[in-house]
Amino acid sequence: MTARIAAVDLGATSGRVITARVGDGLLDLTEVHRFPNRPVEVSGTLHWDILGLYRDVLDGLAQAGTGISSVGIDSWAVDYGLLDASGALLGNPVHYRDDRTEAVIDDVHAKISPERLYAVNGLQFLPFNTLYQLAAERLLDRAETMLLIPDLLAYWLTGERGAEATNASTTGLYDASTGAWSAEVVGALGIPAGLLPELRQPGSPSGLLKAATGLPGVPLTAVASHDTASAVAAVPATDANFAYISCGTWSLAGVELPAPIRTEASRTANFTNEAGVDGTVRYLRNVMGMWLVSESMRVWGMPSSELPALLAAAAEVPGPRSVVDPNDPSFMQPGDMPSRIAAYCSRTGQAVPGTRAETVRCIMDSLALAHRAVLREAAALSGRRIDAVHLVGGGSRNALLCQLTADATGLPVIAGPAEATALGNIGMQARALGLIPDLPSLRALIAETQPLARYFPSTPETPWLDAASRLESFTTV
Ligand code: LFR
């Protein structure tokens, strides 16, 4: 038996609607709609254009056409919309790169310490975690319900409200031990009881599309609606000793574990325990990823179609030379990334990249070095042996980054699939339809049906060791 399934996958810079034919060993993808996701700054606040995104979701579903058995939605994490008592959206969702939380982080930590937070939620500290955003939220007193982005779109499509669990685990309000909202954290922060809807597990039915969507009665299925959780579900690993890097706007690098690790060493290393499918834990750390390149290209006025040429030029530049910590706070907000990178290099006494190719080379070497650092720490903290690195997501098309990651980590890199997130989204729906029995079968099917590339370490480790210790000396100063 086969079925046609649609995945809505929203990334920070673009969204897509993909359909798949699944079943009988088949997993064929067709991209039916791709659209840019362009944040909008209004009166000093950076917002998502949520109505524009919803329109593109509707357009994409219209392109998908009839004969669809199920639809699923995933997006980036942490951000939300608030509904009032009538179900209307209060304000436009704020972008996680807005700096509104800076002023409230200490207040939150005065109410509940970072140590206690980590003991409950196991979450890495990121200034935009939902709990900090809610502390800075001006519309909270008028809100009845908070819906994370995929749940908000699901509500508009079906009229049903819920909170999908993998995404809920990124809010800071979710208890990593019990898999439920944390009454302790919610209470300590004075968040109104009832703001958080009931949790839904990936694979559960989430309502039927309304007539106005053009696909009346088509079932919506909760998927691992945090894009990273969907991407990890689609890692084509065939044994346990693997690490993954889900590489797009962010590089999410880590290992899959059966249970969270909430030691003090893990907290100070800022490793997160986000929920994966079937009770797995995504033990990882965020690295500020291809954002450094996409934001540089925006400043240079280059369309994304010019990325391959830029990477080819960067591959000609010798490296690793100047390196930056991609997670330096100066790189978080939108702005003149090339100048910030130059300023970082000059501040740390390194050669300042002079050309676009040199800037991109510096970013690629820095990302490879960050991948090395995170995976070594993940292995040390978890005791997990890493025999190979699966690099999935759009970054898997970036041969330079894949090769440099193999060189810097000293590990083989298996690159692909590029559409891991959409595949994970589709896979959870296929499982709900009874077309795929379990997670290992999904991964095996992806390994069999999707194109993968392999990269092996090709250079001596010494230059990477030197660059790593140089970088450490900057970050500890
Ligand atoms: C990746 C991602 C990361 C999350 C960041 C912000 O797209 O979902 O996992 O930390 O975006 O939501």
- Could you read off the pLDDT of 250-284 as tens digits, one per residue? 999 999 999 999 999 999 999 999 999 999 999 99
Strands 80-83 and 89-90: antiparallel
The finding on whether 225 has its CB within 6 A of some atom of ligand 1 is no
pLDDT > 90? residue 477: no
pLDDT tens, position by position, 89-131: 999 999 999 999 999 999 999 999 999 999 999 999 999 999 9
Catalytic residue among 227, 325, 365, 407: 227
SS3 breakdown of the chain: % helix, strand, coil, rounded to 5? Answer: 40, 20, 40
Give the separation between CA 346 and CA 11, rounded to whole angstroms.
Answer: 33
The pTM (predicted TM-score) of the whole model is 0.98
The finding on whether 96 has its CB within 6 A of some atom of ligand 1 is yes
The finding on whether 250 has its CB within 6 A of some atom of ligand 1 is yes
Give the distance (Å) from ligand 1 centre to CA of residue 162: 20
Give the distance (Å) from ligand 1 centre to CA of residue 75: 8
Average pLDDT of the residues of the chain = 97
Q: Give the mean pLDDT of 368-378.
A: 98
The finding on whether 149 has its CB within 6 A of some atom of ligand 1 is no
Give the separation between CA 75 and CA 150, rounded to whole angstroms.
Answer: 6
| Atom number, ligand 1, closest to the C-alpha of residue 128 | 6
Question: Is the Cβ–Cβ distance between 171 and 180 less than 8 Å?
Answer: no
SS3 of 430, please?
helix
Smallest CA-to-CA distance from 98 within 132, 140, 128, 134 is with: 128
Whole-number Cα distances in Å, 257 to 250, 252, 280, 283: 21, 15, 6, 7
Give the distance (Å) from ligand 1 centre to CA of residue 76: 5
- pLDDT in the model for residue 193: 81
Token pair 């944040």 is found at 39
Check whether the bond before 114 is cis (ω within 30° of 0).
no
For ligand 1, pick from 123, 227, 270, 288 the residue to mutate: most ligand atoms within 8 Å of CB: 227
Question: Is the Cβ–Cβ distance between 207 and 154 less than 8 Å?
Answer: yes
The finding on whether 252 has its CB within 6 A of some atom of ligand 1 is yes
- In this structure, what token pair is assigned to residue 134? 């809610």
pLDDT category at 475 given cuts 50, 70, 90 is confident
Q: Give the mean pLDDT of 140-168.
A: 98
- pLDDT in the model for residue 239: 87
pLDDT category at 179 given cuts 50, 70, 90 is very high
Question: Is the Cβ–Cβ distance between 395 and 248 less than 8 Å?
Answer: yes
- Residue identifier of the C-alpha nearest atom 7 of ligand 1: 76
Burial environment of residue 291 by CB neighbours within 10 A (0 to 12, 13 to 18, 19 or more): buried
Give the separation between CA 76 and CA 101, rounded to whole angstroms.
Answer: 18
- Residue identifier of the C-alpha nearest atom 1 of ligand 1: 76
SS3 of 373, please?
helix
pLDDT tens, position by position, 306-315: 999 999 999 9
- Residue identifier of the C-alpha nearest atom 9 of ligand 1: 228
pLDDT tens, position by position, 381-439: 999 999 999 999 999 999 999 999 999 999 999 999 999 999 999 999 999 999 999 99
Give the distance (Å) from ligand 1 centre to CA of residue 228: 7
pLDDT tens, position by position, 310-345: 999 999 999 999 999 999 999 999 999 999 999 999
Per-residue three-class SS string for 120-158:
HHCCCCCCCCHHHHHHCCCCHHHCCEEEEHHHHHHHHHH
- pLDDT in the model for residue 223: 98
- In this structure, what token pair is assigned to residue 212? 């106005």
Proportion of the chain above pLDDT 70, given as a percent: 100
Smallest CA-to-CA distance from 147 within 208, 83, 190 is with: 83
Token pair 């890097």 is found at 245
The finding on whether 398 has its CB within 6 A of some atom of ligand 1 is no
Domains and their CATH numbers in the chain: 3-225 (3.30.420.40), 231-416+452-477 (3.30.420.40)
The finding on whether 286 has its CB within 6 A of some atom of ligand 1 is yes
- In this structure, what token pair is assigned to residue 384? 């997990």
- pLDDT in the model for residue 476: 59
pLDDT > 90? residue 474: no
Give the distance (Å) from ligand 1 centre to CA of residue 345: 27
Give the distance (Å) from ligand 1 centre to CA of residue 354: 31
Q: What is the ipTM of this complex?
A: 0.99
The finding on whether 228 has its CB within 6 A of some atom of ligand 1 is yes
Q: Give the mean pLDDT of 152-159.
A: 98
- Residue identifier of the C-alpha nearest atom 2 of ligand 1: 76
Cβ neighbours of 13 (radius 10 Å)? 17
| Order of all β-strands in the sheet with 26-36 | 26-36, 14-23, 3-10, 70-75, 219-221, 205-208
Give the distance (Å) from ligand 1 centre to CA of residue 271: 14
- pLDDT in the model for residue 283: 98
For ligand 1, pick from 130, 166, 228 the residue to mutate: most ligand atoms within 8 Å of CB: 228
The finding on whether 80 has its CB within 6 A of some atom of ligand 1 is no
Active site residue 227: yes
User: Identity (one letter) of the amino acid at 49?
Assistant: D
| Atom number, ligand 1, closest to the C-alpha of residue 226 | 8
- Phi, psi for residue 310 in degrees, rounded to 5: -65, -40
Q: Which residue has the higher pLDDT, 25 or 423?
A: 423
The finding on whether 76 has its CB within 6 A of some atom of ligand 1 is yes
Give the separation between CA 41 and CA 239, rounded to whole angstroms.
Answer: 45
Smallest CA-to-CA distance from 381 within 246, 247, 447, 285 is with: 285
- Residue identifier of the C-alpha nearest atom 12 of ligand 1: 77
